[in-house]
Each structure stands twice: as structure tokens, then as C-alpha cells.
């Protein structure tokens, strides 16, 4: 089992608490550490690691730019900003990468009325090289409707494809769409659908260990969740999904990134009452044992 174990976060853990994964079972202990972000990143909505540097972006009509943390600790973020020339940030919601490219999902569609959904493709120096236009095969009505099934805020790289996860306010069933990376235009049909019990807002997939993680929250924002899917494949078996309720209320976790066997990072938007922030989640015993078996469900 291999991990890209980055060393850009060096800090003391602030708190420790027990997390409940289900109503009846108490699982492994997690430690949480919070870092405030500069308010210029007020709607952080995507996370990735490029050349061991943490990157994010804003959503919902922000500038088409990437924020890069070359150093990351409480006292020194060493933030750099890169503009993505010839791109438009209508509603950037997530990002992912493979060996060659960064993919930015301009797929936010709160009211189900967008006809210009696309995924931007850049090189690792954040230069735009291509884009993929997408549309939903089942959508015929583009009238404004907040309770729609055509919003999507989570994307991962999965082999030669991208997987897009819907934020379905219509019935909370997350539709999963496959997008070939080499296409210029894709008509989307779901390849799977699963009810996670919340609205999915971010995702990350680590192909070295076959682990998918997702962030989500309840419709009223009162509850925030983190999901683990080991040995991820399509279709997803519901009994293989492990759900953690996070110890935060009334925030919007919009992105998630696997850093190592013992560390996951998430970001939350500014909710008009404070600064946006990053949390580092330390899994004390790790997610996988030495044999590569997922052990979080056995604590």
C-alpha cells in the first residue's frame, strides 16, 4: 500500500473526540485541527494536491483562479494565486487530477437552469488546454427550480474517466455520471444512484488504495458528514459505505482530500458569520492496516 504522504502540515493537534458512525456503533477516535483561511477564499469549493502543494478555488461566479498553498501552518500560508486564462467561473464546484491534468468542474447548477455546464482541463502549471461540455440526457425543462436533480458538486478521476456526483435536492438520491476524459462533449446518463442520506458536496478518490471519500450535509445544514467507500467500484454497495457525522454545525463543507493513511483535509465556505476554514482530520489508528485492509469499520 502506497500513499503520497505530504509533509506540508506541521502542527499540534488541538482536540480529540469520539465520532459515531451509526446510531449503535462507536468507532475509532479522530483528532480535528482547524485553520482559518484568508477571506479572499470565501467560497472554497474544491481541493487537490499538485506537486505536494494544496490547491483550492472559489465557486459561484468568482474569478477563474486557483489558490495554491506552498506552505501550510497557522502562521504562514504562503498563498499564491494563478489565473486560468480563457476560462469562466460560472460555478466551479470541485476539482480532481491525474498524472497529466487538473480537471475543474464548472457544474454548479443550483436552480437547474444552466445550459453551459463544462469541465475545464489544465496542465499542472494551471494553463488551460481543453474543456468538456456536458448536459443531462433526461433534462428537458430548464425553468428555474431549486429542488432539482441536475446540480453536481463532486468529481473524481477514475481511470480514463471522470465521475461526477450529483447534489440532488429533488429526492436526495445521488446520481453518478461517467465522463470520458478524451471527449469534447458528453451527454450524461447515470451509471449508478445511491441515497447517502445527505447532499453530496465534494469527493476524492485514491486509486493506489481504492478509497473514495465524500463530503455532504443535511438539507438544513445542521449536520455535516464524511463518507468512506473502500474498494470503490460501480455500482456502490450501500452496506460498504461508512458514514461519519462531523462535530460541526451550520457550515458548508464543500471539498475533501485524502492526504495519507492517517490524514484527511476538508474545507468549509464562509457562512457570513466568520472566516472560511480548513480542518485536518487525523485518524489515530489509520484507515488501513499493514495488509491494506480497511479497518475503520472494526473499531
CATH of domain 15-298: 2.115.10
Domain residue ranges in the chain: 15-298
Q: What pLDDT is attached to residue 271?
A: 61
* First-residue to last-residue Cα distance in the chain: 21
Q: What pLDDT is attached to residue 56?
A: 95
Left if phi > 0, otherwise alpha if psi is -120 to 50, otherwise beta: which for 273? alpha
Q: Measured between alpha carbons, how far is 121 from 104 in angstroms, rounded to an integer? A: 7
Q: What pLDDT is attached to residue 61?
A: 75
**The pTM is what?**
0.89
125-158: pLDDT as tens digits? 999 999 999 999 999 999 999 999 999 999 999 9
What is the grid cell recorded at 272? 457570513
Q: Which residues of the chain have pLDDT under 50?
A: 1-28, 298-299
96-110: pLDDT as tens digits? 999 999 999 999 999
Q: What pLDDT is attached to residue 272?
A: 58
Q: What pLDDT is attached to residue 25?
A: 32
Amino acid at each position: 500500500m502506497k500513499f503520497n504522504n505530504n509533509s506540508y502540515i506541521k502542527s499540534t493537534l488541538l482536540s480529540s473526540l469520539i465520532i459515531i458512525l451509526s446510531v449503535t456503533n462507536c468507532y475509532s477516535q479522530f483528532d480535528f485541527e482547524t485553520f482559518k483561511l484568508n477571506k479572499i477564499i470565501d467560497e472554497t469549493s474544491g481541493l487537490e494536491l499538485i506537486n505536494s502543494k494544496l490547491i483550492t478555488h472559489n465557486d459561484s461566479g468568482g474569478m477563474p483562479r486557483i489558490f495554491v498553498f506552498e506552505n501550510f501552518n497557522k502562521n504562514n500560508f504562503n498563498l499564491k494565486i494563478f489565473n486560468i486564462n480563457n476560462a469562466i467561473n460560472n460555478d466551479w464546484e470541485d476539482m480532481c487530477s491525474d498524472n497529466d491534468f487538473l480537471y475543474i468542474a464548472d457544474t454548479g447548477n443550483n436552480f437547474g437552469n444552466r445550459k453551459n455546464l463544462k469541465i475545464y482541463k489544465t496542465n499542472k502549471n494551471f494553463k488551460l488546454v481543453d474543456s468538456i461540455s456536458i448536459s443531462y440526457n433526461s433534462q428537458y425543462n430548464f425553468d428555474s427550480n431549486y429542488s432539482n436533480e441536475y446540480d453536481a458538486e463532486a468529481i473524481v478521476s477514475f481511470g480514463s474517466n471522470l465521475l461526477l456526483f450529483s447534489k440532488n435536492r429533488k429526492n436526495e438520491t445521488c446520481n453518478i455520471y461517467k465522463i470520458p476524459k478524451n471527449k469534447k462533449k458528453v451527454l450524461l446518463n447515470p451509471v449508478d444512484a445511491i441515497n447517502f442520506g445527505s447532499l453530496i458536496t465534494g469527493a476524492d478518490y485514491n486509486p493506489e488504495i481504492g478509497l473514495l471519500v465524500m463530503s455532504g450535509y443535511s438539507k438544513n445544514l445542521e449536520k455535516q458528514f464524511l463518507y468512506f467507500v473502500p474498494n470503490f467500484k460501480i455500482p456502490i454497495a450501500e452496506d460498504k459505505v461508512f458514514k461519519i457525522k462531523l462535530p460541526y454545525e451550520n457550515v458548508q463543507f464543500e471539498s475533501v482530500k485524502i492526504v495519507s493513511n492517517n490524514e484527511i483535509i476538508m474545507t468549509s465556505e464562509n457562512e457570513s458569520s466568520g472566516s472560511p476554514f480548513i480542518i485536518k482530520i487525523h485518524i489515530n489508528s489509520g484507515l488501513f492496516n499493514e495488509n491494506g485492509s480497511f479497518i475503520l469499520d472494526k473499531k
